[in-house]
Structure 1
């Protein structure tokens, strides 16, 4: 059995800063959206993905992929959004087994209201405090991470 490739002190510092910062930022974004708009970060992400899709609808499998949720978790999240009148699910006309998630007009309006506050929080706690060259590096880094995860899985 080979020895693990341990992180050096700088790598460990940066890794922990990423983990701590991303967890705390996600918690802050979630708390802010729940307090102001009654939406979790997961619910908000689903509304965003549906708002950007043609006809404001996506197949559940595709939505799970884009929203980084398992199909089971997505189903529960969509049920909550349905109970709020923000999303509805319906069958696919050309695939009897397929299901679409549709963003309702009420859901689009709720997203519009939430997005106005959410973007300010994202700016206050991320965009505006990071040097533009560092922000570009973060973008490049996570493009590479997403690519690697996609290749692995």
Structure 2
């Protein structure tokens, strides 16, 4: 077996910083979502694509693809949210095997409360520290890595919602 190409000091520093950035930023943003909207990060991840969908409704399978979750994780999360009245699951008219997920008025109210603070926190903790040129460069670099991941394993990684952190929910 060939010796792995270990990370050099510069690469290791970048990798550790990247991991810490992801963990710390997501923690700060989830705290804000919970404080201002009474939602968990997982609740918010589910409600964002529903808020952008026609009639606040998506097929469960499409929702799972959109947020990059497997069926089991999605099913458990939908059950928790359904108990809290944030969404309902309904039969799919076109396919009895499929389920539709519809955001309720309570779900829409919760994301509408959380979204303005979420985008403000995203700006304050991330974008305000980057120039327009740096945003473009970082976006290009991330897109390149994501394209490589998708090409390597054929997953739906590239289908993740671009709206996740920034889109204003539709009323």
Q: TM-score, normalised by structure 2?
A: 0.83
Q: Which residue of 1 aligns with 2:120?
A: 120
The answer (yes or no) to whether the contact 2:39–2:110 under 8 Å persists in 1 is no
Secondary structure at the residue paired with 1:7?
coil
Partner residue, 2:164: none
Q: Which runs of 5+ in 1 are unaligned?
A: none
CA deviations 1:119-144 (Å, max 9, x no partner) are 11111101111222222222222223
User: What CA distance in whole angstroms lies between the structure 2 residues aligned with 1:148 and 1:72?
Assistant: 27
Residue 97 of structure 2 aligns to a residue whose secondary structure is: strand
Q: Which has the higher strand share?
A: 1
* Structure with greater proportional helix content: 1
TM-score normalised by L of structure 1: 0.92
1:85 aligns with 2:63: no
- 5 Å-filtered alignment, 1:1-153, equals 1-151=1-151, 152=153, 153=155
Secondary structure class of the residue paired with 1:90: strand
| Structure 2: segments with no counterpart, 5+ residues | 156-171
Q: How many residues align?
A: 153
For the aligned residues, what is the CA RMSD? 1.4
CA distance, structure 1, for counterparts of residue 2 and residue 51 of structure 2:
48
Q: Which consecutive segments of 4 or more residues in structure 1 shift more than 6 A?
A: none
Partners of 1:150 and 1:90 in 2: how far apart?
32
- State the 1:4 CA deviation: 0.7
